[in-house]
Amino acid sequence: MTLASHADGVTPAEKAMLEEHLPYELDMLEAASAFLHDEKRDRTDVAVRNAMIEAFWIHARNLIEFLTLRREQRDGATGVASARDFTKKTFSSPDNLGSIVNDVNDQITHLRYERKTSPQEKLAGWNMDVVRPAILSGIEKFEDSLQEQYKPLWVWRSSHKSQPVLATMVTTTATIKGVLS
């Protein structure tokens, strides 16, 4: 990955992040969420349903890490993008998103001996309905804090602002309190 910048101060990697990679993550988060909340979908195909749940959480994790990663953390993760790479110093990342990443790692991305088995312990539809709006709010803060040279490059392809927060499909005995803390 080359970090040589052009006359406008934007590197090819930064341009690709804003025009392709970040919009892709958001589009996939939205597509997975819409699929899972579509009442007309056939829910009998467990493999497809689980694949869409995994897709939602993988893209949510990527976006949460993008929004919450601090610049000083980049030293150990070469090439990892952070919202702070593109925003003014006044940008404040949503602090309430970080803890959900541990749940995603434990239940989706890593095969652990301690993996949850009880439906009440697992990430559920209501978790998505809390996390998705928090991510969208973080992205709006990101948009509002973009440095001038990046504003012309940032275009989110989805019609996210017209989509309502979706109703939950899965209910659990857990409470929302603590999900994002």
- Distances, alpha carbon 77 to alpha carbons 65, 97, 108, 120, in Å: 12, 20, 21, 34
pTM: 0.79
pLDDT in tens, 92-127: 887 777 778 888 888 888 888 888 888 888 888 788
How much of the chain, in percent, has pLDDT values that exceed 70? Answer: 76
- Residues 10/68/168/49 CA torsion (nearest 10 deg): 70
What pairs with residue 146 in β-bridges? Answer: 87
Write down the residue that tokens 């996939």 correspond to. 28
Cβ-based neighbour number of residue 23 at 10 Å: 16
Burial class (CB in 10 A: 0-12, 13-18, 19+), 9: exposed
pLDDT score for 16: 94
Of the chain, the percentage scoring pLDDT greater than 90 comes to: 43
What is the CA angle 20-22-24, rounded to 5?
Answer: 65
CA angle, residues 111, 116, 119, in degrees to nearest 5:
135
For all residues of the chain together, what is the average pLDDT?
Answer: 79
pLDDT for 11-64, tens place per residue? 999 999 999 999 999 999 999 999 998 888 887 888 998 899 999 999 999 999
* CA–CA distance, 22 with 138 (Å, rounded to integer): 13
- List Cα–Cα distances, 173 to 6, 81, 154, in angstroms: 54, 36, 40
- What is the rounded CA–CA span in Å between residue 2 and residue 72? 20
C-alpha to C-alpha distance for 36 and 29, rounded to whole angstroms: 11
pLDDT one-digit tens code per residue, 123-180: 887 889 889 999 999 999 999 999 999 999 998 765 544 444 443 333 322 333 344 4
